[in-house]
Chains A and B, each alone.
Chain A
Amino acid sequence: MNTSRLTRMILVLALAASGAAQAADDSASDSDKIEAYREMISDGNPAEFDEMRGEELWKKPAGPKNASLEKCDLGKGAGVVKGAYAALPRYFKDTKKVQDLESRLLTCMTTLQGIPEADITAKPFASDKKPSDISSLATYVVGQSKGMKMAVSTKHPKEKEAYEIGKRIFNYRAGPYDFACSTCHATSDVRIRMQDLPNFNVKADAQSAYSSWPAYRVSQGLTRSFQWRLNDCFRQQRFPEPKFASEATVALTMYLAVSANGADYAGPGLKR
């Protein structure tokens, strides 16, 4: 990214921040605003800052073992980042588990770099006070699958099993409001207040929703990972908190990713 582009992006960010504040009390035209905003930054999504930060983190030796992540195997062989996200989650022989991008990054950071797992999972999401290394790394990795076809496999029995469990979690109603993911995401053309809800039982909806995450959120001024997206929907579902990169979240991701297969991966995206 050259300097003039960078300056322009910063300007756009400032504009967006004021726009977002305004949008809070004028939600009626949220989608128009986001469209206008998309136009403005058509040649630069602020998520690029995270992609750059993630790339540096990937290449820089770190942790007690002072190692980079360049030997991390995301499923396409050690160090191969290109196209890796378009085939995740998948089964990994070394851990004997189905892993999504973030749980796999967690494995690499603990095994290759020797960073204690608890140090990463204590605060896995970015806040305006502190960026998240694992989120930045994820943003970098997904950027290397841009434009590729989502092709997540269910050939391995464990992959098939994760998909089936994910589907069950999607429909699992509980909590004080009796909500499941399906309460909000299994009917077409409905919305909560003014926010349109994708119907994950419909291919086209699942594809456009899934393939646009992770995403830079204008209202928060932060790039958000897919684990964050699930976490915040479980919050709205009035559930307790899903453990970061847990089997439940990976299975659910598997279900959604397979539902989105065939989409051209378009992340990191840009959202309200």
Chain B
Amino acid sequence: MNAKQLFGIAVSVCLASVTFSAQAGSKDDKKLDAKTTEIIKRDFRDKGIAKADRVNQDELQAACSKYLDDVPDKLKGKLEAAQAKEIKWPADGKYMGDWKAGEKLAQSGRGMTWSDKPEDTPGGNCYNCHRLSAKEIAYGTIGPSLLNYGKKRGTKEEVQRSVYGHIYNAKAYNACANMPRFGHMGILTEAQIKDLVALLLDPESPVNPKDASAAAK
């Protein structure tokens, strides 16, 4: 037997085992899914403000977990529409607040862990995942860089509304995005979200630096 034949056999053995496990999968998978849920509901307990019922999933969380963030298109569209419907838009039709307050919020990583006190108001955690102001170098990279965000997009009302919507509920735009739903989950208030919109869009904000070298980065 030559190397090519050997390789052929190896490939078909692998393919056979893949189909086999995929077939065996579905029934076993359901059993394992059910057992996982049972274990999770049993093995967590209240601690501080983090109550045990936080492990209960809503429809969106369950779908993103099941499909490993890669939900089929039809379901994705359905989930996004359902999230979008629940966005509470500002009653006064204004989307921009104070960028200075927004910067403070963006810096704060506080919020909603069991070591946070009930009276601590959550921050935005934005720098945990995003680059924003050019001056802050300790930024995370789970989300895209938002430096120069307003300079690139301008401040037209539709842009303001889209940013407000993203911060309120990023899942209305991309069902399994790795960004928390700050408005939907009651983490940030309407006024706080407006301050963050201003941080991203206001021409005076450090997110939109005037000097060209920072802008180029």
Binding site for B on A (CB under 8 A): 27-28, 161, 164-165, 168-169, 171-180, 182-184, 187, 189-194, 197, 234-236, 238-243, 246-249, 251
Which among B40, B115, B129, B187 is the interface contact of A192 at CB below 8 angstroms?
A: B129
Q: CB-CB < 8 A to A182: which residues of B?
A: 68-69
Q: Report the minimal beta-carbon distance from B128 to chain A, rounded to whole angstroms.
A: 5
Q: With A178-B181, A235-B115 as given contacts, are A243 and B36 in contact (CB-CB < 8 Å)?
A: no
Q: How near does chain B come to A98, taking the closest CB pair, in angstroms?
A: 12
> Could you tell me if A180 and B65 are in contact, using CB atoms closer than 8 angstroms?
yes
Whether the Cβ atoms of A173 and B57 lie closer than 8 Å is: yes
Contacting A172 at CB < 8 Å: which of B40, B53, B112, B181? B40
Listed A/B pairs (7) with beta-carbon separation below 8 Å: A171-B65, A192-B140, A235-B113, A240-B47, A240-B52, A241-B114, A246-B39
Which chain B positions have C-beta within 8 A of A246? 39, 42-43
Find A240's partner among B39, B46, B57, B141 (CB 8 Å cutoff).
B46
**How big is the B interface, by class?**
35 or more
Distance, CA A172 to CA B129, complexed state (A): 20
| Residues in chain B within 8 A of chain A (CB atoms) | 32-33, 35-36, 39-40, 42-47, 50-57, 60-61, 64-65, 68-69, 109, 112-115, 127-129, 137-142, 171, 178, 180-181, 185-187
Task: Say yes or no: B36 contacts A172, CB within 8 Å.
Answer: yes
| A165, A168, A194, A238: the one within 8 Å of B113 (CB) | A238
**A176 and B55: CB pair below 8 A?**
no
Give the shortest distance, in Å, between B33 (CB) and chain A (any CB): 7
What separation, in Å, do the CA atoms of A246 and B42 have in the docked complex?
9
Q: How far is the CB of A149 from chain B (nearest CB, A)?
A: 25
Bound form: Cα–Cα A236–B57 in Å: 18
* A239 with B50, Cβ < 8 A, contacts A173-B57, A192-B129, A193-B127 known: yes
| A242 CB contacts on chain B under 8 angstroms | 43-44
In the assembled complex, the Cα of A171 lies from the Cα of B114 at a distance in Å of 21
A234, A235, A240 — most chain B CB neighbours (10 Å) = A240
Contacts A248-B39, A248-B43 given; indicate if A190 touches B141 (C-beta within 8 A).
yes
Which residue on B lies nearest to A243, using beta carbons?
B43
Which of chain A's residues has its CB closest to B181's CB?
A: A178
- Is B36 within 8 A of A178, CB to CB? no
Question: B36 to A168, Cβ gap below 8 A?
Answer: yes
Q: Which of A165, A179, A194 contacts B36 (CB 8 A)?
A: A165
Instruction: Please tell me which one of the listed residues A27, A165, A173 contacts residue B35 in the complex, with CB atoms under 8 A apart.
Output: A165
- Nearest 10 A/B pairs, CB to CB: A248-B43, A241-B47, A246-B43, A177-B180, A168-B36, A240-B44, A192-B140, A173-B61, A175-B54, A240-B50
Q: Which residues of B contact A180 (CB under 8 A)?
A: 65
B141 touches A172 (CB 8 A): no
Q: Which among B36, B64, B69, B187 is the interface contact of A176 at CB below 8 angstroms? A: B187
Kindly provide the distance from the CB of B140 to the nearest chain A CB, expressed in whole angstroms: 4
Output the least CB separation between A182 and chain B (Å): 8
Do A191 and B54 form a contact, CB below 8 Å, given A177-B185, A247-B39? no
B44 touches A239 (CB 8 A): yes
Complex: A14 Cα to B94 Cα, angstroms: 54
Q: Would A169 and B40 count as touching, CB distance under 8 A?
A: yes
Given contacts A193-B140, A247-B42, 4 further A-B contacts (CB under 8 A): A168-B65, A173-B64, A176-B186, A246-B42
> Is B142 touching A192 in the complex (CB atoms < 8 A)?
yes
Hey, which chain A residues are within 8 Å of B68, CB to CB? 171, 182
Q: Which of A176, A190, A236, A249 contacts B54 (CB 8 A)?
A: A176
Nearest chain-B residue to A236 (Cβ)? Answer: B113
Considering only CB atoms, which chain A residue lies closest to B179 in the complex?
A: A178
Chain A residues closer than 8 Å to B45, beta-carbon distance:
240-241, 243
In the assembled complex, the CB of A99 is this many whole angstroms from the nearest CB of chain B, namely: 14
Q: Are A190 and B43 in contact (CB under 8 A)?
A: no
Q: Tell me the complex Cα distance, A267–B64, Å.
A: 35
Most buried by A among B60, B113, B129, B142: B113
Residue of B nearest to A179 (CB): B180
In whole Å, how far is B156's beta carbon from the nearest beta carbon of chain A? 30
Q: Which of B54, B138, B178, B186 contacts A174 (CB 8 A)?
A: B54
* B142 touching A187, Cβ below 8 Å: yes
Could you tell me if A176 and B185 are in contact, using CB atoms closer than 8 angstroms? yes
